[in-house]
Structure 1
Amino acid sequence: MLLVCSSSGNLRAVTLAARLSALCPGAWEGAGHGPSSSSPVSLPTAARPFSAAPGRSDGGGGGGRDRSFRQELEEEVRVARAQKAASDYRRRKDAAGPAPAGPPAQGGGTSGGASSGSGESLIRAKAQEELEDLSGWEPVTYGESGMEAIVERRIRESIAQGQLDGLKGRGQPLEALGPRHDHQFYKVDPLMAALGRSMGAQAIKPRSIELRDELSSAVKAFEDALAREARKRLQALAAASRTGAASPEAVASKLAEELASADLKGAAYAFEEASRVRSQYNGAVLVDKETYGASWPLEQVRRAEYAAECLRVARDVVAEAMAAEAGKGG
């Protein structure tokens, strides 16, 4: 191709056209030259090699020829893009393989067609398996109860599949809680200790947590006062040989009866103080559950009975004495 340019603007335009024809073979030669009847596609301002000054004619550099050539260049770019899109479409269509169209022709199949058909069958089978795996899918909302919804769904699926049928103790009543179950409330709880530290660092301590600490201190004071009196009375019973060969439970019951009937002003006052704090604590738990939500970890505690507390402390004192006696004998 012979390129003759009359100005530096035409030289840049023709050079750009030559580069486009090299990148898109056939696009330049296959398209007609001259002004296009359709509206040209506007190129970005940075990509326009030249622009005719408004109101300029062919004189002084060929402004009219520049405008005609710009239309031709835009036409070439549009054709090149269309050819590339068609080529990409044919490439994707060839890679996907032929679509199934009824029974195969008699005696005309090739090994390539058979392999592509088998590959398509494998793809369809895999897609069907994935759809079957997702057939039981249920949407899950990850909100306040999202995790509970997931757990409940997993439990229902396990029950439906029979995975919980062989569990030990199935169909039998739950074991009763031990006599010291409620007493464990007053022991050290790592969760509550961490919660208290976290809220304390933020200068936030709900009323139920404050009263829980007070209740633990009040209960401990009552237990210490009652245990001191129980040890004295147990030593008196042992010195009088009134325990004899009685079982530890019988000794604890007799000791608890004496503690409950005795006029122990210090222990009685400590018990009343613990009962008062316990009542305040139970009310504060209800308020904090309303404030911080139903998932607030603290729960109410049962009202204590003086006779039951005397029996529990008496059992602890008897067990302590028996352990000390066994240690001396060993």
Structure 2
Amino acid sequence: MSPASCGPTSWRGRTPPVTTTSPPAEPAGAGPSGSGEFGRIARFFKPLAAGFAGSLGLANDAAVFGVPEGQELVVTMDAMVAGIHFLPDDPPADIAAKLLRVNLSDLAAMAAEPLAYTLATALPKSLGDDWLAAFTAGLAADQARFGIGLAGGDSVSTSGPVTLSLTAFGLVPRGRALPRKAAHNDDCLFVTGTIGDAALGLAVALGTLAPDGAESRVHLLDRLRRPEPRLAVGRGLRGLATACIDVSDGLVADLAHVAEETGCAALLESAAVPMSDAVRSAIGKDPALLVTALTGGDDYELLFTAPESARPDLARLAADTGVPITEIGRLTPGAAGEVTVLDAAGNAMALERRGWVHF
């Protein structure tokens, strides 16, 4: 081990010892917490840090941990705000899962392994222990699934909407991360999984789309609230992909980001974009939803470039991980960041927007 210290803000103050090893399985209490900030930290967050030694039990002002010899630290941060990234009445466990998974998706796009995370919560004082218990239970379940632990963070009150910020740390072998500038203008474009589920899932959640049957409804909502970080695929792309990004702002918008960084243009074949049965059924009833699927975002699939020679290896990677990998276009000579989207007939589509923008 080569010693290295990191200084993410830890939970402020000293916390009393607790004997539990996981958050309560059932929500505890229905009203605002009467235990104060430190009592909440001890009850709900300290158990999440028990499995990560670098957290020092959340009893200090910073976490301290090393980076193994031959590894590099990958750091990413995403914030989520009620009413923007999730609906205020979404289940707290789903909110927690999405918050952690969108950060894990960033690690996957860099071919990194999860290590630890820090968390900052800004919660209204009226939010009760029942909400926090369900939220931390959601974090605990995903920590166990993805092999990551809490290193520290901060907890504050707010008069505004629930605001959450998570910083994830990962490890990647030195020199093996996936920056976006190594692609060439003849590389092929690939994407994992399916595209458009989350965008249509949001329409379902808002009541503007009625999918065919309960199964489709559950599928679309689950893809919106609990995206799957493609960590195994990300690891497998080391030495294969020449650029990689996760699809958060929309397939077209994120492809434009890759094209701009590589100094290329891009050609996207909409008919080749993989979509679930639920999405295809909805588009069959309303063809305008095709644009929604291509630009809506929140899919958190991996979009990457690779040379044609990588196709056999990518087919094996898809088989090994059980995650479909589909070729959907290529980088081309042209203005950096320009994306041409072709319809099923091979004609260029006119898009009013390419994806989500905050400002």
TM-score bin, normalised by smaller chain: under 0.3
Q: Which has the higher helix share?
A: 1
Q: Which has the higher strand share?
A: 2
| TM-score, length-scaled by structure 2 | 0.17
| Higher RCO structure (Cα 8 Å, ≥6 apart) | 2
